[in-house]
Amino acid sequence: MGNHSRVPDFLLFEFSEIREIQILYFFSFLVLYLAILIGNLLIVSAITFNHHLHTPMYLFLLNLAIQDLGTTSVIVPKSMVNMLMNTRHISYLGCVSQVFLLVFFLGSDIWILTVMAYDRYVAICKPLHYERIMNKQFCFYMILAVWVSNLLNGLLHTCFTFGMSFCSNIINQFFCDIPQLLKLTCTGLNQNEIKLIVFVCVLGVACFSFILFTYVSIFTAVLKIRSLEGRKKAVSTCLPHLIVVSMFLLSAFIAHLEPPSSNLNLASTVMYSLIPPLLNPIIYSMRNNSIKLALSKLLNMGNSLKKTVLLFSFVLGGKLLGEKVGLSLVVQIDACTLISGADLGAANNDLAG
């Protein structure tokens, strides 16, 4: 990291030089970010507080929601602050942190989707062995492997990226993105970075091939199901995951194309980094009755809690008001007693005189 003195900070992509348009972008990102937060937090809360959903399928969905929350929270808040403060700057350490966290969270997406595909494969193709294969210990180790591998992936990518010298500090992106940072290097890609990129690409292709294999097997098994109701149930179980995988691959493909203009570059980046976290909760809750029921119970719990808080506030307020009125009456009675005593004393003095 010896290039810290050469590049003290970086300049991110400027959405517009017109202040009014910057404010418009700020509110657009704010609405998008709040929608992502609310949607994914509802999924996390519904699964966490409903013990009936503590099954492999929903635990993987819980991790996917956490990953979506992490990805958007790394990208969006800093961009919103820059828009609001009318600046483009991000510190060197801030950029390092953003790259590490982005690789850590965004890189786990394909792994979680792969694990979810295997879970659906076992559920449809080997239903009698599902509980034995997808036991809690095995699921825990798979989730742990996803996060630990991406932790190492984030550390390696960050060290190799910022171990190179930068000839410029202007990033053509609204966050610190590795492909854009590599364009700023003076020496180009080193051998370690090339090896790491090749390794990650091979793993990505392997994950995609495995997902493709699982769904070919799933659809083959579905076609063998004789009852129409059984087919519908199998398809409805796998359809949300298939839509999410397709959306992820499509957005990733579009994002890695070279757009002819900065506006198209911005649109493709928003598509692969923000649109999947926005749509994932909608897709998984739209056709899933268990999630719908859990969300309904969660909202009812929230309404009950709200009513309890209001009732407690009302009772507490009435009690305080009663104490205040009682104290006022005591003061008034004491004052009247004092006044009556004074008048009685004065009358006695007159009689004595």
Amino acid at 342: A
The strand pairing partners of 89, in sequence order, are 11
Q: Is 59 exposed, middle or buried (0-12, 13-18, 19+ CB in 10 A)?
A: buried
Kind plus residue range of the DSSP H or E element containing 314: helix 289-352
Cβ-proximal residues to 182 (8 Å cutoff; 6+ apart), any chain? 161, 189, 193
Q: What is the pLDDT of residue 1?
A: 42
Torsion of CA 182, 186, 190, 195, to 10 degrees: 10
Q: What is the mean pLDDT of residues 45-56?
A: 89
Among 68, 25, 22, CA closest to 277: 68
What is the Cβ-side half-sphere exposure of residue 194, based on CA atoms within 13 angstroms?
Answer: 5
Q: 50 in the Ramachandran plot: left (φ > 0), alpha (ψ -120 to 50) or beta? A: beta
Q: What is the pLDDT of residue 309?
A: 62
Q: What is the mean pLDDT of residues 162-188?
A: 84
Q: What is the pLDDT of residue 351?
A: 46
Q: pLDDT, tens digit, for every residue of 202-236? A: 888 888 899 889 988 888 888 887 777 777 777 77
pLDDT tier at 41 (50, 70, 90 boundaries)?
very high
Angle made by CA atoms 196, 273, 155, in degrees to the nearest 5: 30
Among 256, 257, 247, 306, CA closest to 281: 247
Distance CA 281, CA 261 (A): 31
Do 42 and 295 touch, CB atoms closer than 8 A? Answer: yes
Q: What is the pLDDT of residue 341?
A: 55
Q: What is the pLDDT of residue 317?
A: 59
Is the pLDDT at 332 greater than 80? The verdict is: no
Distance CA 92, CA 94 (A): 5
Do 13 and 173 touch, CB atoms closer than 8 A? Answer: yes
Q: Please indicate, yes or no, whether the overall pTM of this predicted structure exceeds 0.85.
A: no
Distance CA 231, CA 225 (A): 6
Q: Which residue has the higher pLDDT, 237 or 56?
A: 56
pLDDT tier at 67 (50, 70, 90 boundaries)?
very high
Cβ-proximal residues to 103 (8 Å cutoff; 6+ apart), any chain? 150, 153, 154, 157, 158, 178
- The least confident of 19-28, 88-97, 240-249, 312-321 is 312-321
Token pair recorded at residue 352: 């004595």
Q: Which residue has the higher pLDDT, 344 or 172?
A: 172
Q: Is 324 exposed, middle or buried (0-12, 13-18, 19+ CB in 10 A)?
A: exposed
